[in-house]
Amino acid sequence: MKHTLMPVGEFAARRAKVLAQMQDNSIAFFSANSEVTRSNDTEYLFCQDKGFYYLTGFNEPDAVLMLVKSDSCHSVLFCLAKDPLAEVWHGRRVGAENAQKDYQFDQAFELAQLEDIAIEHLANKCAVYYCRGHQKAFDTQLMHWLAQVKGQSRQGIKAPQSLIDVQPLLNELRLIKSSAEIDIMRQVNQISGKAHQRAMKKTHGGVFEYQIEAELLHEFARHGARHAAYNSIVAGGENATILHYTDNCDPLADGELLLIDAGGELAGYAADITRTFPINGRFTEQQKALYQLVLDAQEQCINAIKPGQTLAKLNELCIEILTQGLIDLGILNGQLTELIADGACKKYFIHGLGHWLGLDVHDVGDYQVENRKQLRAFEPGMVLTIEPGLYFAKDDLDVEEQWRGIGIRIEDNVLVTDQGHENLTTNAPKSIQEIEQLMNK
C-alpha cells in the first residue's frame, strides 16, 4: 500500500534551518545509529537515530551528516561504501554517489574518508555543534579529531574553541510539525485505529495476549506501517496495572478488561494509542463506572487544548475530574480541595497526562519554562498524547475488592491547531456504546 511520504526537499529544508541558526564559521555533526546485536551474529531490527533521520531521511547505519557554515553553507553525507559481497549477504546499500543525488546533499563520501575530511573542515572553525552525550562512540571520535586539529597548531591552525550541544536547537525544530509531517501522523493514526478495531473484534476469553499483539502487527503492516512504533502493550486483567507491561504472555479471562497500548510507525512517525475494553464485549457496571470516569477526564482535557494552553493546566483539570469521580465512587473519602491538595488520586493515576509525539514516541522538545512545571504554552503544530489512567493494584487493601486488579488508560494523539486542536485518533472506538457495538456485531 502506497502512502504519501516525506518529500525529499523537506529534509534539505530542515538542514538549511539548522545551518541558518549556526554561528558563522562553524560546523555540525549528526551521526546515525549502528546496528545492535540481538544474538550471536544476528541484529535487532534497525532503527535510525531520529534526529539524524529528521535531517537526512537516510536509513542506513553508521552514516554521519556534516553541515559546514563558512563563506557558503553545505551539507555532506558520509555513508557505507557500495560493496557487492556485503550487499549479497546483508542487503543493498545506497552508496555515496546515489545518496548525494537522491537525498539532495551537496556532497557525499564513503565513510573511509570521514576522518580526513572532518579534520580538514574542523581546522580554523570557531565552533562545533554535535549531540553531546548522545552517542558515546561519536563523542570519542570527535575528541580524537579535535586533538588532531590541535596538533596542527605549529602550522597556524586553530581548533574550534566552542563545543555546542546542538540537541536543543534540533529538538525545537522537531517539536513543531510541518504539514507533511502532520499528514503522515494522520495516516499512521488511521492505520493504528484500524489495528485497535481489529484487536477488539478478535478478542475473547482464552485467547493469549500475544495472539492479539499479532493481530495488531498484522493490521499495521497490512496498511503500510510495517512495524510497531514501540513494543505493544497487550495487558489483560491485572496485567494492565503494570504500566509498561510487554510480556504479553497470558491468556485473556472472560469478565476482565484488556488494555492495549499500541501504535504503528509510518515513515518514521509514531502513533501512540491506548484503548481498554471488556474481553467478553460487555462492560460490567463497575468497569463502566471507572471507564466512563477516565473517558470524561480524557475528553475534557482534549477539548481544552488550544494555543496558549499548558500541560500543567490540563494535568490540574484531569486531577480535579478524577478526584471528584473517585469521591463519587466511594474510592476516595474527603473534601475535593483537600484531596487535590494532598495529591490523593496520584496513587491511582501514577503517570503524566501526556507527552510530545512525533518521530520518537516520547518525542523531543522542552516541557518546562520554569522549574520543573509543564508550563510551556502550546503552539500550532505541536502534537501530544492525552492519556489519563486509573490503576488499582491487586493487593491494594485501601480499595474495595471490586476495584482491585483493574487498570484503565485511554490515549489519543492530538494536534494543536490555530483554532484549537485536531484529534488525530478518530477511528479507534472509545465510547462504551461504540466498543460494545463493534465487539458484538
∠ CA(410), CA(412), CA(417), 5° rounding?
A: 150
The interface region with Mn ion, picked from 3-11, 170-178, 267-275, 430-438 by CB under 5 A, is 267-275
Which cell is 264 given?
Answer: 504503528
Handedness of CA 373, 377, 378, 381 (dihedral sign): negative
Binding site for ligand GLY (CB under 6 A): 230, 261, 272, 355, 361, 387, 411
Cβ proximity to ligand GLY, 57 vs 358, nearer residue: 358
Which cell is 67 given?
Answer: 553541515
Would you call 409 a catalytic residue per the annotation? yes
* Interface map 371-400 toward Mn ion (x if CB under 5 A): --------------x---------------
Query: Residue 109 pairs with which residues in a beta bridge?
Result: 78
Residue of 3, 134, 351, 404 with catalytic role: 351
Residue 110: CB minimum distance to ligand GLY, A = 38
Would you call 244 a catalytic residue per the annotation? yes
Instruction: Give the burial class of 3: count Cβ atoms within 10 A of its Cβ; 0-12 exposed, 13-18 middle, 19 or more buried.
Output: middle
Cβ proximity to ligand GLY, 67 vs 273, nearer residue: 273
Beta carbons of 174 and 246 less than 8 angstroms apart: no
- The span from the CA of 105 to the CA of 252, in Å, is 52
| Distance separating the N- and C-terminal Cα atoms of the chain | 28
Cβ proximity to ligand GLY, 256 vs 387, nearer residue: 387
Cβ proximity to ligand GLY, 114 vs 410, nearer residue: 410
Residue of 54, 269, 291, 391 with catalytic role: 391
Beta carbons of 356 and 383 less than 8 angstroms apart: yes
Residue 372: CB minimum distance to ligand GLY, A = 19
Instruction: Give the burial class of 140: count Cβ atoms within 10 A of its Cβ; 0-12 exposed, 13-18 middle, 19 or more buried.
Output: exposed
Residue of 38, 204, 226, 362 with catalytic role: 362
Residue of 38, 92, 204, 244 with catalytic role: 244
Residue 261: CB minimum distance to ligand GLY, A = 5
Name the binder of 145 from ligand GLY, Mn ion, none, CB < 5-8 A by kind.
none
Residue 387: CB minimum distance to ligand GLY, A = 6
The interface region with Mn ion, picked from 58-66, 186-194, 264-272, 319-327 by CB under 5 A, is 264-272
C-beta nearest to ligand GLY: residue: 261
Contacts of 424 (CB under 8 A, 6+ apart): 185, 186, 189, 271, 383, 412, 413, 414, 415
Would you call 24 a catalytic residue per the annotation? no
Q: Given the C-alpha cell 483537600, which residue does it identify?
A: 338
Residue of 60, 181, 238, 261 with catalytic role: 261
CA 156 to chain centre: 46
Would you call 226 a catalytic residue per the annotation? no
Q: What is the amino acid identity at position 57?
A: G
∠ CA(317), CA(320), CA(323), 5° rounding?
A: 145
Residue of 15, 196, 275, 355 with catalytic role: 355
Residue 230: CB minimum distance to ligand GLY, A = 5
SS3 112: helix
* Interface map 352-371 toward Mn ion (x if CB under 5 A): --------------------
Cβ proximity to Mn ion, 347 vs 355, nearer residue: 355
**Is residue 261 within the footprint of Mn ion (CB under 5 A)?**
yes
Which cell is 346 given?
Answer: 496520584
**Is residue 272 within the footprint of Mn ion (CB under 5 A)?**
yes
Name the binder of 230 from ligand GLY, Mn ion, none, CB < 5-8 A by kind.
ligand GLY
- How many other CB atoms are there within 10 angstroms of residue 39's CB atom? 7
Binding-site size for Mn ion (CB under 5 A) equals 5
- Catalytically active residues are 41, 244, 261, 272, 351, 355, 362, 387, 391, 409, 411
